[in-house]
Every structure is written in structure tokens, then in C-alpha cells.
Amino acid sequence: MASAEFTYSDVAEHNTKQDLYMVIHDKVYDVAKFVDEHPGGEEVLFDVGGQDATEAFEDVGHSDEAREILDGLLVGTLKRQPGDPSPKTPAPQTTATAGAQTGTGLTAYAFLLVGGAVAFGIYKYLQANSQQ
């Protein structure tokens, strides 16, 4: 599929609306053609454009359909070099902390999931009506 290799420096050069790359799980994606269609708005893409967006992507909890769309935007892989930032992993939580945050976390996740589904439904509805 995509055999090109990019460094963080290469990816960082692609940070405009017409030319927007990001790294997710050490794969490089050209999201420029998806900016106007992104249900969360273009600002969230610009916030991580030209950078490693893995944490932001996973924090939202994207659907299987979103991951399929992402597969279509793949342009290459990240070639890690000495001095590059390492992938961010969440800090381990103690049992007490994890238990205290579970209710809030589930509520936020449910809100994002429902909001995303509503936004996607509106997008599909508007898209279907604009073709008539």
C-alpha cells in the first residue's frame, strides 16, 4: 500500500488546510481532503496537524467507520530517528484513582459517542439532501 517513509520533520512541514499530515500509531496520513468533512470540525485536525495525533485520536474513541476512512488516507509510515519523541502512553493509575474517575470517564465517553453519532447523522442527512 503506502511504502513512503516520513520523519517527524517531514510530517511537520505538512500543516496547512491544503496539505495536512499527521501521525497515528506510527503511520502517516494525509487528512487534507477530509478537513471539511470531519464531524468534529477542522480545528481539531489543525491542533494536531504536522504532529503525532495518536493520543488525541484514541482519546476520542473513534468508530470502526472512522478507522476505515483513516485507512484510505494512509500515505506512509513514520521513520523514527534518534531524538524523536517517544509515543505517549497513559500514566498508570492506582486502583483508588481509577475507581474515582470511572464514572466521569464513562459519562464523557458516552457524551462524545452520542455527539459523534448525531454529528455523523446530520452530515449524512445534509449530504443526501444536497444531492437532490
pLDDT digits (tens, 9 = 90+) for 63-80: 888 888 889 999 999 988
Torsion of CA 67, 36, 73, 108, to 10 degrees: -20
Per residue in 41-61, is it b (16+ CB within 10 Å) or e — as a string?
ebeebeebbbbbbbebbeeee
Flag whether pLDDT at 97 surpasses 70.
no
pLDDT digits (tens, 9 = 90+) for 10-47: 999 999 989 999 999 999 999 998 888 887 878 888 88
**Contact (CB, 8 A) for 54 and 85:** no
pTM of the model: 0.61
Residue 98: the pLDDT is 44
Region 4-78: CATH code: 3.10.120.10
The band of 87, judged by pLDDT with boundaries at 50, 70 and 90, is low
Task: Report domain extents, the chain.
Answer: 4-78, 89-132
Flag whether pLDDT at 93 surpasses 50.
no
